[in-house]
Amino acid sequence: MDISTPSATPPGAPSVCVLALDVGGTGMKGAVLDPAMRPVTSLRRPTPRAQGPDAVVDAVAETLLDLERLATERGLRVEQAGVVVPGIVDETLQRAVWSANIGWRDLPLAAVLAERTGLPVRLGHDVRAGSAAECALGAARGARNVLFVALGTGIAAAMSSDGRPVRAGGFAGELGHVRVRGGTACPCGGVGCLETVASAHAVASAYATRTRRPVRGAAEVAARLQAGDPVARAVWDEATEGLAEALAMVTSLVAPELVVLGGGLAEADRLLLDPVRDSLDARLTFQRRPVLVRAGLGDKAGCLGAGLSAWQAAGHHLPTSVAGVPTP
């Protein structure tokens, strides 16, 4: 377990806090957050996905209890816990409907965690939480029509329309399963899904397959692209064209003013943003052209979004800098 502990709680600091936990398929990121959304302390630990969904639930409950202990040691009272997870999440019913990464299905996760820990728990979706955090604290501050796209092992998105999150019972935002080209089978059962072309995993896999040389990830493909590797160029072009094609569909349907690209692939910055922007622009005619930017909060967005949701569930007014953010 990796624990990061900032300076001790200063005299006169608020005596209440929330717990925030972002559960991913690989790792969990947790924090104790004060009412100004400042991390009092934080931790990271692996997600025991290989041991099955029950083991993941056990690990999440244990991590929440560890965060509560860290808060208590600093004289803080926990008002609420916010937990965000991948897959299909119904925030209204507080259920983890389905997750291919973790394996649970139709699980009343908020209630289960509340029973295990004795804490009030607010459940949310990891990408919608990341979007809420970017709207409140990051690259999308001040925008009301935002598409947040997480480009990692898979691809998922979250949409804020006229300042309100689009949820559709937890099914909205599956950009990774928009069909952009035929021929490649997707684990979801579809063919030609964006996720099979433009995710970080797809980029690394395509390069390794064509060259028969394994790579450590999409970042290595990006480095080889910059070094003039023609195979890396071909793979990268296919990824950026596919992403632009999917974004053009979304632009025509819901007209985002801002598209925020996050996740591991977005670490390539302009190497990704510039060709996607150019390709998207070439596909649009009368539509409002969205501004494309890189996410500002990095891998902390989901955790911060979980914290925002927790403070709102606890009924606390947010500081002016984050007021008006839609609940993840």
35 contacts 9 by C-beta, under 8 angstroms: no
- pLDDT at position 101 is 77
- The single residue listed with the structure tokens 């839609």 is 326
User: Helix, strand, coil proportions of the chain in percent (round to 5)?
Assistant: 40, 25, 35
Q: Does 4 score more than 60 pLDDT?
A: no
Between CA 97 and CA 89 the distance in angstroms is 5
- pLDDT at position 10 is 53
Between CA 313 and CA 120 the distance in angstroms is 9
Query: Would you place residue 322 in the very low, low, confident or very high pLDDT band (cuts 50, 70, 90)?
Result: very low
Helix (H, G, I), strand (E, B) or coil at 59: helix
pTM of the model as a whole: 0.86
Q: Are strands 146-151 and 258-262 parallel, antiparallel or unpaired?
A: parallel
Is residue 17 packed enough to be buried (19+ CB in 10 Å), middle (13-18) or exposed (0-12)?
Answer: buried
Mean pLDDT of 174-203: 88
pLDDT in tens, 212-261: 998 999 999 999 999 999 999 999 999 999 999 999 999 999 999 999 99
Domain 2-126+299-322 has CATH 3.30.420.40: yes
Mean pLDDT of 91-103: 90
pLDDT in tens, 22-79: 998 888 999 999 999 999 999 999 999 899 999 999 999 999 999 999 999 999 999 9
- In the chain, domain spans: 2-126+299-322, 141-296
Query: Would you place residue 315 in the very low, low, confident or very high pLDDT band (cuts 50, 70, 90)?
Result: confident
Q: Does 3 score more than 70 pLDDT?
A: no
pLDDT in tens, 129-174: 999 999 999 999 999 999 999 998 889 999 999 989 899 888 899 9
Amino acid of residue 23: V
Between CA 322 and CA 328 the distance in angstroms is 13
Which DSSP letter does residue 10 get?
P
Query: Would you place residue 324 in the very low, low, confident or very high pLDDT band (cuts 50, 70, 90)?
Result: very low
* In the chain, % of residues over pLDDT 90: 78
Between CA 70 and CA 54 the distance in angstroms is 25
Compute and round to an integer the Cα radius of gyration of the chain: 20
For the beta carbon of residue 227, count every other beta carbon within 10 angstroms.
Answer: 8
pLDDT in tens, 258-311: 999 998 899 999 999 999 999 999 999 999 999 999 999 988 999 999 999 999
202 contacts 196 by C-beta, under 8 angstroms: yes
Amino acid of residue 170: G
- The single residue listed with the structure tokens 């399963």 is 177
CATH class of 141-296: alpha beta
- pLDDT at position 327 is 38
Helix (H, G, I), strand (E, B) or coil at 322: helix
- pLDDT at position 313 is 94
| 78-117 burial code (b ≥16 CB/10 A, e <16) | bbbbbbbbbbbbbbeebbbbbbebbbbeebebbebbbebb
Is residue 44 packed enough to be buried (19+ CB in 10 Å), middle (13-18) or exposed (0-12)?
Answer: middle
Q: Which of 123, 44, 43 is nearest to 86 (CA)?
A: 123
Q: Does 108 score more than 80 pLDDT?
A: yes
The reply to whether 2-126+299-322 and 141-296 are identical in fold is yes
| Total residues found in the chain within this entry | 328
User: Which residues, in sequence order, are CB contacts of 299 under 8 Å at separation 6+?
Assistant: 29
Structure tokens at 124: 């949310």
Structure tokens at 144: 């009301």
For the beta carbon of residue 197, count every other beta carbon within 10 angstroms.
Answer: 25
Amino acid of residue 97: V
Between CA 261 and CA 281 the distance in angstroms is 16
Half-sphere exposure of 182 (CA within 13 A, CB side): 0
Residue 5 to residues 23, 65, 66, 200, 299, Cα–Cα distance (Å): 20, 17, 13, 31, 18
